[in-house]
Structures are given as structure tokens and as C-alpha cells.
Amino acid sequence: MLSACSSSKKSSNPTGTGSGSGTSAAANQGVSAAYNAAADNIVNPSTKTGGTLHLGATADADSWDPKIAYYGWAWNMQRLYNRSLIGYKVLNGDKFELAPDLATDMGTHNADFTSWTYTLKPGVKWENGKAITAMDVKYGLERNFASAELPGGPSSYFTTASRPRRATRARTRTVTCRTRTSRPAVAPSRST
């Protein structure tokens, strides 16, 4: 799998190392491009927003829709463009630790672990600049269980036990998930 971002601007650094601004990768706290360099480091980091993400693979994903995708590598690639309440502390390496993504923390629960509440970080936005709301996250979570309307994907992953007991509640910046059975480790993923 290959990935790269491009922009319409020409790089002032013809060597291909560092960012397009001509600064070296080391100056940006990254490493030089080499075989497997991105496995546990950031290569050519940038603070620039926008551009196009180019992916190269020997086959296409079964779907780029987070509800329908089934292949593990497709889920991994989706971490580049999907957001969830809970994600991973870092996107590369081999030590994956859960951490808040859209949420301010790992969520709070009631005494029997059947209700989990998450508060959205202030200022999170869609790519068009519009604020991500609790209703957006509610929609994303509930669509994971819409197997009749959106067939395909890992439907067994979203089992009856994890299906919300009733509709997820959303208020301003708060999302509450209520499950049918005790879920001590609810970490909603693939929510937007």
C-alpha cells in the first residue's frame, strides 16, 4: 500500500526529502524516506492542509464506506479520513493504545455499563468547515446497525448485544449510547 498527498504547488526541494517548503524532514521532527520508515515514524510531516490523498494497492477496497467496508486493510486506511469518538493514540507503529478522537475523553458510564456518554471536543469540523455535531455522530453510529438499508460489511461485528437498546441520544456536544447488555469496554468506532 502506498499513499501520498499532492498539491498544485511545485516543491522547492528537488531531492524529495522534507516538506514541499524546502525544509528537511529532520527540521520538521520527521525521518527521511526509506523502506518501512513510516512503520513507526512520520516521514515528511507537514502542517499544510488540503491536497489530494493518492493510494496505490494491488486491489481496490471492497468499499470505502465505513459501514460497508469489510477488509481489515480498508479499515486501516479509513483511519486517514474517518473520525470516531475513540480512536488510537498514534496511527503508526505496533503499540496501539485507545485514545479520544472526537471525544474529550474515553467516555463515562453508568453503574452497570449499559449507558456511555461522550462529549465532543469543541471546534471539530468537517472538511468544508462546518462543525461536527452530536447529531452527526448519532447518525454515524446508528447507520452501523442499518443492515437492511446498507447491506454488506461486517454485520456480525455489530451484534444484537451491542445494538443500542434504543436510539442513541444526542444533545449539543454530548452523545449517549445505551446498550441492551452490560458493555464494560464500549469504544464506538467508525462514527463519521
Domain shared by 67 and 32, yes or no: no
Do 76 and 150 share a structural domain?
Answer: yes
Q: Is 76 helix (H, G, I), strand (E, B) or coil?
A: helix
Domain count, the chain: 2
DSSP helix/strand/coil, 66: coil
Among 28, 56, 84, residue at a domain's last position: 56
pLDDT digits (tens, 9 = 90+) for 53-80: 777 778 888 888 888 888 888 888 887 7
Range of the domain at 154: 63-192
pLDDT reading at 111 higher than 70: yes
The answer on 151 and 94 residing in a single domain is yes
pLDDT per position as a tens digit, 119-149: 999 999 998 999 999 999 988 888 877 777 7
pLDDT tier, 4 (very low <50, low <70, confident <90, very high otherwise): very low
HSE toward the beta carbon, residue 42, CA cutoff 13 A: 15
Residue 68 sits in the same domain as residue 141: yes
Are residues 187 and 94 located together in one domain of the fold? yes
What 8-state DSSP symbol labels residue 10? P
Say if residue 52 is in the same domain as residue 67: no
CATH of the domain at 175: 3.40.190.10
- The pLDDT tens digits of the residues spanning 178-189 come to 887 787 765 554
Question: Is pTM, for the whole model, over 0.85?
Answer: no
